[in-house]
Amino acid sequence: MLHVAVVGYSGSINNSPVKELRSICEEVGKLLARHGHVVMTGGRDGVMELVSRAVSKEGGRVVGVLPAGDEGNNHIEVRIRTGMDFALRSVILTKSADVVISMGGQAGTLLEIISSYSYGRPVILLENTGGWTDRIRSVLIDDKYLDERKTVEIKVAGSLEDLERFLKEADNGKV
């Protein structure tokens, strides 16, 4: 069992350049719930809410790591009120995770990708979900690191099967 953070676009998914993002979120949520992972998000709308709803529907556990003044979306079981602004709570979210899954995303998502790497948490980029999840790849060192320290590998998942395999490896301590 892993603590898996899911990060990505907030706001309306309808504005996402990727049409299938809604169904990808649902598939990811189901997969995480079925494997019994604890799913953590920043508690807001967009990717966070869609994945959380799918996890919750499947009977899984959802933790919301919330910024100050926000009680989170309706699919949160455990609610951590950090008393902090968005960026600080994002850092706590990624630190608490064993693995981080990224879909699309603006600067807030980029911050979460960098923060995850800094803490040595493997990030799994879901290919073709847009935003920084795709854009970050062009500046990776050796296609997988964010600096010369090579703290941890960043993975690219081209399919749900890839995602499932990476999670399994992480659970076995292989990542």
> Counting contacts by CB under 8 A, is residue 5 touching a copy of itself?
no
Give the shortest CB-151-to-a copy of itself separation in angstroms. 7
Give 106's contacts (C-beta < 8 A, 6+ positions apart): 9, 10, 131, 132
Judged by CB, which is closer to a copy of itself: 122, or 131?
131
Quick one: which of 74, 133, 64 has its CA closest to 104? 133
> Counting contacts by CB under 8 A, is residue 132 touching a copy of itself?
yes
Give the shortest CB-65-to-a copy of itself separation in angstroms. 7
> Counting contacts by CB under 8 A, is residue 2 touching a copy of itself?
no
Judged by CB, which is closer to a copy of itself: 119, or 165?
119
Q: Phi and psi for 141 in degrees, rounded to 5?
A: -90, 130
Q: What sign for the dihedral angle of Cα 86, 13, 17, 27?
A: positive
Q: Euclidean distance between the first and final Cα of the chain, in Å?
A: 14
Q: For binding to a copy of itself (CB under 8 A), which residues are involved?
A: 3, 38, 61, 63, 65, 68, 77-88, 91-92, 95-96, 106-108, 110-111, 114-115, 117-119, 131-132, 135-136, 138-139, 146-149, 151
